[in-house]
Chain A
Amino acid sequence: MITAGVDVGAKYSKIVLLEDGKNILTRANGVVGFDVGKSAVEVFEKALVDANLKRDQISQIVATGMGRKIIHKNPPINAGEIVPEVIADAKGVFHLIPTVKTVIDVGAEEGRGVKVGEKGGVKDFVINERCAAGAGTFIETMARALEVRVEDMGPLALKSTNVIPMNAQCCVFAESEVVTLIHAKVSKEDVAKAIHDAMAGRIASMVLRVGVEKDVVLVGGVARNPGFIPPLKKELNAEILVPEYPEYTGALGAAIIAFEMEGQK
């Protein structure tokens, strides 16, 4: 049986096609444009082509992510069910790393901490409120201020060993602090590290509200940023595990939930 999980995120749509609830047939992603539904359909069709499948061969589709409602019972994807991100995250990470107790998901617009229970259920969770300073967009904005590519931000930060505190609790004010540092002739490496340290501090203080229990797994697009992991590890005083495709765990979890739904029929 083939099921699919579609994670319509703030910046990217991610799709996982799954066979019998365990074998990943393919993964695909694409940038979410102004027409969220259209972007999701394009990625979905790409995944079908990659796996050499047709829509009617997929028994069940579950959608998650910020834009999940757009494809819920809406052709051509026609997702049969929608689940919140924290539910999909916990399920997906538990499938990959069954010893997981804490999931930290840092995406483009949101940071989340999830305490994972039995069988990948959610015991408790926390989500950052109304501020981009704990999400990937923060790094993108700061990269623009530093005039570097976003993918260079992490490696740049790793070159610095200096500690420069950034106090701003808000993305806009943080940008002002970065501009001040630039004017003070602080090196790009040091500023990049300060940005990652500040973000790790915000995410850690949020996750600590639900408690940090090992194994701790970091997922979401920001998990691919090497500059973010050392300060987060330091803040949480814990080893951080990162799966091979950290941005796909929500979609994977949704595909597993789709498989479980079919099993209950």
Chain B
Amino acid sequence: MAQTKEYPTEPLKIWNEAKDLRRKYYEGYLTAHEHGALRWAGGAWSFSAIPAGLGNDVYCITGEPYGATVAFFKEFTSKCHDAVEAAGFPRTLCAYMRNYWGSILLDKYILADGTIVDHYPAPDFIWQDHICCSHGKWYQVVKWLEETKGKKVPMYCVDVSVGYSPDEPLETYKINYIVQQLNDGIDWLEKVTGRKYDDKLLCEAVWNEMRATSLWAEVCALNQAVPAPLDEKSMYSLYVMGTLMKHRPECVTFYEKLKAEVEDRVRRGIAAVPNERFRVITDTQPPWGFLQIFREMEKYGVVSLGSLYTYGLIGMWEYRPDGTWAPKQLPLEKPQTREEALKAIVEWTAHRPEWAHFYLPELKTKMMLSIVKQWKVNAVLLHYNRGCEGLSVHIAENRLGLLDAGVPVFPFEGNMGDEREFDMPGTLARLTAFFSSVGLKKLRE
């Protein structure tokens, strides 16, 4: 076995708090009706700060993280897929969506620790936006499925397909197009819930979301340090707060604490992977049922620092005048009125990095190359993810762009949420070949 320098390492102190926060989130949604609270469903990218104006007792379940949670527990996933396929849906659809539908069809709800509860808790309303084809259809089917169980769930969707500009603000008419839909949506929310809308709560939620998504980017930026204070497998359990509750004050508090801890790790040279000697990034969602692949990589001294996905799915970034890709800076003032809040959140959200490639693959390649340079990345592992059309679109073009820039790339096929489409031994064998081709040897068994 080859030898390498060993860095000090230690577990994250905030780890248990992260687990607890996530547990409370799913339980909060489950038990909301017991104390007269509201439940809503929608995607992780929906404008979640808007329903927050209905009160502090409004709980949401975001579909993609729920689909990923299902995927982590393979036996339950398999049952979900069987139910979805028996209902006539093809297995080529978004895997998160199928996991979510399967859970409804089985009438079972899974908690973050794998506990399965009888009776899927139906939402009181659906609040979604359209960015990819699956996002568009997902909740239409949820609505149908709930109707078959006798529950009518009203649904509202926001169209966000206004284009993407990495460096310049979007044109006013595009911003207004989305703002107007949100304004109409607030009227709709009042109508379907019978509640009076509170603009002060909206302004708080918008500000929370902007702070949380900027803070997460700041945490990710700290991973530029050598050794890296965080590894991607751990980051999955941390970024998820932003996908669940980016508008909530507890999310902001959590990321503030996390940032302080990671800064401390950087100061003290604490490594996520003690034998770090080769730095990679990945792309798109991982095959959730097979995260041990990251531990296998560590046997070679390889640390995965994250990805455009883990950094930019929720984290907000911008190009600074010096050309560096950096956490997006907050506006100077917190919004004070409904109009200010809606405009602020639309302008903020329209620059989400993970929306760029829906419009132009070159924009995604550019951001990936910025990460490669600034995070001192040696190679990129690309997941050709059959489970997510949206995030995999153009990925082969990203590969070519990276190769043209001289970055070694390892593509592998799989599926984030359907284990039938991931070959763990085969992928590990190919990964071993890739590591050998870049001169890496196994450091430990």
A interface residues with partner B (beta carbon < 8 Å): 66, 83-87, 121-127, 129-130, 209
Contact = CB atoms under 8 A, between A and B. Distances in A.
20 contacts: A83-B436, A84-B432, A84-B436, A84-B437, A87-B437, A121-B437, A122-B436, A122-B437, A124-B408, A124-B409, A125-B433, A125-B434, A125-B437, A126-B411, A127-B430, A127-B433, A129-B413, A129-B423, A130-B413, A130-B423
Nearest to A122: B437
Contacts of B412: 129
Contact of A124 (B403, B413, B430): B403
Nearest to B433: A84
A86 B433 contact: yes
Contacts of B434: 125
Interface string B422-433: 010010011011
A157 to B, nearest CB: 29
Interface of B: 396, 403, 408-409, 411-413, 423, 426, 429-430, 432-434, 436-437
A112 B45 CA distance: 40
Interface pairs A-B: 7 shortest CB-CB: A84-B433, A122-B437, A129-B413, A86-B433, A87-B436, A84-B436, A130-B423
Contacts of B403: 124
A84 B434 CA distance: 9
Contact of A84 (B408, B411, B423, B429): B429
A129 B436 contact: no
A129 B426 contact: yes
Contacts of A84: 429, 432-433, 436-437
Nearest to B414: A129
Contacts of A123: 437
Contacts of A66: 429
A127 B430 CA distance: 8
Contact of B437 (A86, A129, A209): A86
A125 B433 CA distance: 9
B426 A130 contact: yes
Contacts of B409: 124
B423 A85 contact: no
B2 to A, nearest CB: 12
B390 to A, nearest CB: 22
Contacts of B408: 124
Nearest to B430: A127
Contacts of A130: 413, 423, 426
Given A123-B437, A124-B403, 6 more contacts: A66-B429, A122-B437, A125-B433, A125-B434, A127-B430, A129-B412
A124 B380 CA distance: 13
Contacts of A126: 411
A63 to B, nearest CB: 13
A66 B426 CA distance: 10
B431 to A, nearest CB: 10
B433 A85 contact: yes
A101 to B, nearest CB: 15
A3 to B, nearest CB: 18
B406 to A, nearest CB: 11
A87 B433 contact: yes
Nearest to B435: A84
A163 B426 CA distance: 34
Contacts of A85: 433
A14 B296 CA distance: 29
A159 B219 CA distance: 65
Nearest to A85: B433
Contacts of A125: 433-434, 437
Contacts of B396: 209
Contacts of A209: 396
A127 B384 CA distance: 14
